[in-house]
Amino acid sequence: MTEKKRRPAKKRTGSTPNRSPYFLQPAKQGSVTVFRRPAGNRIDPKLCGTMSSRALALALVKQLEKAESVVHDLFLEATDDGIEALEAVLEACRQSVARRGEHLHPGAVAHGPGPGPGARRRGRGRRRGPAPASEPPASSSEDTSAA
């Protein structure tokens, strides 16, 4: 019988190459702060923004990763012009995420966790067919006499 040829096992390195350079930290009143890991000649993490929810913070990370993929040395530039450009990009990303967050979830803070009022129910306990009318039945005996 012949043995199957096997591929050699992949070697695991200490750090994963797909790890995002951004990380989140909780902030005051339930908000989330986005930082970028130090790179180049930086010692401290770069504050990228504070968002009101974790979902918006993750959207900001995604937006910043897109921006950084276009301008590779965005966070490495140490000149005054580079710092001004970085601040402009960070502000544009924060505003873009905030606008999209308000547009997609206009009352997300008012509803709190869980499905919103217009969410469809799935699984057990859902009603089939058209939704029942929520109007109370009209009473046929109305009092028309004046006092």
3-state SS record for 33-58? EEEECCCCCCCCCEEEEEECCHHHHH
Could you report the per-residue pLDDT of 32-81, keeping only the tens digit for each?
A: 999 999 887 788 998 999 999 999 999 999 999 888 888 777 777 778 88
Residue 92: HSE in the Cβ half-sphere, 13 Å Cα cutoff: 11
Helix (H, G, I), strand (E, B) or coil at 75: coil
Helix (H, G, I), strand (E, B) or coil at 98: helix
Q: pTM score > 0.85 for this model?
A: no
> What per-residue confidence (pLDDT) applies to 68?
84
Nearest residue to 66 via CA among 112, 32, 100, 116: 100
Could you report the per-residue pLDDT of 79-91, keeping only the tens digit for each?
A: 888 888 888 989 9
Could you report the per-residue pLDDT of 122-142, keeping only the tens digit for each?
A: 666 666 666 555 555 555 555
CA pair distance 101, 93, nearest whole angstrom: 12
Per-residue tokens: 98: 């905030």
